[in-house]
A = this chain, B = another copy of it.
C-alpha cells in the first residue's frame, strides 16, 4: 500500500488537523467527536446545514464547510458512517435558532445514525429536517444501501441549499430545495482501478489490467457490470445514456453537468470525458447551462469518474450562481 500517511489509525485525525491549519479563516475542527464547522458558528438567524459520512470522499464533506454551503460536516472513519454523537454535537454547535437540515447520503449506516441524531437533537429543542440523497442510477440496492446510493447530487444539493440558507429561507424551504435537487439529479460512475482502504492495506477488489467496472459505488461497491476497458467516449456514452434515460430529461431542459474524478483520475482525462458528456447532452437537446469539473466526491485514490446531471430551473440557477466560499468550492467572494 503506497500512501502519504502515517499510522493508518491516524489518517482521519491528521487530515482534519491539516484542514484546520490550512483554512483557519473558514473552518474549525472539533476532535472527539470529530466534526468540521464554520469558524463563525453559530450563524444566528439562518438555517444550519449539517452533512457527513465516511471519510475517503474528500473534499466532501469537510471541504464544503463555509459561507454559502455547509455549516458543519461529520467525518466517520474511512468508508464508515459517522456516529450520532458527532452529528448531535455538530448540530448543537451550528444551530443558529432557525433549525438544522441534515443532508444524508443513502447508505444504511448514515441514514440510521442521522435519524438517531435527529431524535436526540429534537429532545434538545433543535428543529431538524433530514433529506436523503439517492441519485445513483447504477443499482437499485447495494452492499451498503437499501434503494439507490447517494453520490454526486449530494455536492450540488449542499451548494444549492447552502445558498438558500444564506438568503434566509426557512428550514422547510431549504429542505424543499434539497428534495427538488434530489428529484432532478441523476448520477452514475465507473472505475478503472480499485482503491485501498488504509486500515485494510490491500485493494478493495481486483480489477484486471484490461477491465473496468461500470456503475461502481464510491466505496468500491460492485456496480452494474464488469467489462473490457473501452475508450473514454464509449465509457461516457454508457454513463450518460443511463443517466439521461432515468429521469427522463426533455429536449431544451437546462442542466448542470458535473463530471467528477474518483480521486486518481487527473484533470487531463477528466476534460476529455467532460467534452464527450457535454456533446452527448447537447445531442439529446439538453442545454448545458452550468457545469462542474474536478474531484469533488472521490473514493480515495480510485481511478475513474462519474457524471451527474441536474435539471435546472431559474431558482436553482440563481442559487448555483450565489457566492460560495469553502476550502473546495469558491466564487463570488
Which A residues are closer than 8 A to B by beta carbons? 2-6, 11, 14-19, 21-22, 55-56, 58-59, 63, 192-193, 209, 212, 229, 231-233, 235, 263-275, 278-279, 288, 291, 293, 295, 298, 300-301, 303-305, 325, 327-328, 330-333
Chain B residues contacting A293 (CB-CB under 8 Å) are 18, 22, 327
The secondary structure that dominates the A interface is: mixed
Q: Which residues of B contact A11 (CB under 8 A)?
A: 268, 272
Provide the residues of chain B in CB contact with A300, threshold 8 Å: 266, 268
On whether the beta carbons of A2 and B271 are closer than 8 Å, the reply is no
Q: Could you tell me the distance between the alpha carbons of A4 and B271 in the complex, rounded to whole angstroms? A: 10
Task: Flag if A266 contacts B268 (CB, 8 Å).
Answer: no
Give chain B residues whose Cβ lies under 8 Å from the Cβ of A274. 18, 21-22
Other contacts beyond A2-B303, A5-B269, A18-B272: 7, CB < 8 A:
A3-B269, A11-B272, A21-B274, A21-B275, A58-B268, A266-B301, A325-B331
Residue of B with least CB distance to A191:
B2
Given contacts A192-B2, A192-B3, A295-B267, contact A272 B14 (CB under 8 A): yes
Q: Given A21-B274, A274-B18, A330-B330, are A232 and B5 also a contact pair (CB < 8 Å)?
A: yes
Report B-chain residues with C-beta under 8 Å of the C-beta of A212: 2
Contact yes or no, B271 A15, CB < 8 A: yes
Neighbouring B residues of A232 by C-beta, 8 Å: 3-6, 14
**B266 and A298 contact, CB distance less than 8 A:** yes
Please tell me which one of the listed residues B229, B263, B271 contacts residue A266 in the complex, with CB atoms under 8 A apart. Answer: B263
Residue contact A14 to B263, C-beta cutoff 8 Å = no
B6 touches A231 (CB 8 A): yes
Give every chain B residue within 8 A of A59 (Cβ-Cβ).
267
The listed residue with most B CB atoms (<10 A of its CB), out of A59, A264, A328, A332, is A264
Contacts of A331 in B (CB 8 A): 325, 330-331, 333
Which residue of chain B is the closest to A269 with respect to CB atoms?
B4
Q: Are A266 and B267 in contact, CB atoms less than 8 angstroms apart?
A: no
Q: Is the CB of B272 within 8 A of A4?
A: yes
**Contacting pair A273 B4 (CB below 8 A):** yes
- Residues of chain B lying within 8 A (CB to CB) of residue A235: 4
Q: Report 22 cross-chain contacts, Cβ distance below 8 Å, ordered by A residue.
A: A2-B192, A4-B192, A4-B232, A4-B235, A4-B265, A4-B272, A4-B273, A11-B268, A11-B272, A14-B275, A17-B275, A21-B274, A21-B275, A21-B279, A22-B291, A59-B267, A263-B266, A267-B298, A267-B328, A268-B300, A293-B327, A301-B303
